[in-house]
């Protein structure tokens, strides 16, 4: 762990463009996504029935749950067409690694 809660979680090359990978931080699983304009991270489980969001289809800035098709904005965690929200986290590429900081503000942090 480094300053301010940032933790290395892998290498950028581990995450193909417009795909996600899950990482475990203690008891928590987080899905990290590579987007054309940077990175996004949110809790791995869909609130509907725990679907693995890192395995979902990514289009623009949304991910679709592979189990039941719920779509979530990767920047805000908000579900399209619903009131549900998933916690988002900060992620950045630095020194050849991906660094993640779990949200301390209820998941309202924007991805770096």
Which residue ranges make up each domain of the chain?
Answer: 3-101
**Residue 3 binned pLDDT confidence (cut-offs 50, 70, 90):** low
Task: State pLDDT tens for residues 84-101.
Answer: 999 999 999 999 999 999
What is the per-residue pLDDT for 31?
98
Q: In CATH, what number does 3-101 get?
A: 2.102.10.10
Q: Give one DSSP letter per residue of the chain, joined into a string.
A: --GGG-EEEE-GGGS-BT-EEEEEETTEEEEEEEETTEEEEEESB-TTT--BGGGSEEETTEEE-TTT--EEETTT-BBTTSS-B--EEEEEEETTEEEEE--SSSS-PPP-
User: Can you tell me which residue has the tokens 């986290």?
Assistant: 89
Task: State pLDDT tens for residues 42-61.
Answer: 999 999 999 999 999 999 89
Strand partners, 28: 25
What is the per-residue pLDDT for 103?
86
């Amino acid at each position: 762990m480094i300053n301010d809660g940032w933790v290395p979680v892998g290498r950028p090359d581990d995450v193909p463009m417009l795909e996600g990978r899950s990482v475990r931080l203690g008891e928590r699983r987080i899905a990290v996504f590579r987007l054309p304009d940077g990175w996004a991270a949110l809790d791995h489980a869909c609130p509907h029935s725990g679907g693995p969001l890192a395995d979902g289809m990514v289009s623009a800035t949304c991910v679709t749950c592979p189990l039941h098709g719920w779509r979530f904005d990767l920047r805000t965690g908000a579900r399209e067409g619903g009131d549900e929200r998933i916690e988002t986290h900060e992620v950045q590429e630095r020194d050849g690694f991906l660094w993640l900081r779990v949200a301390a503000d209820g998941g309202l942090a924007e991805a770096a």
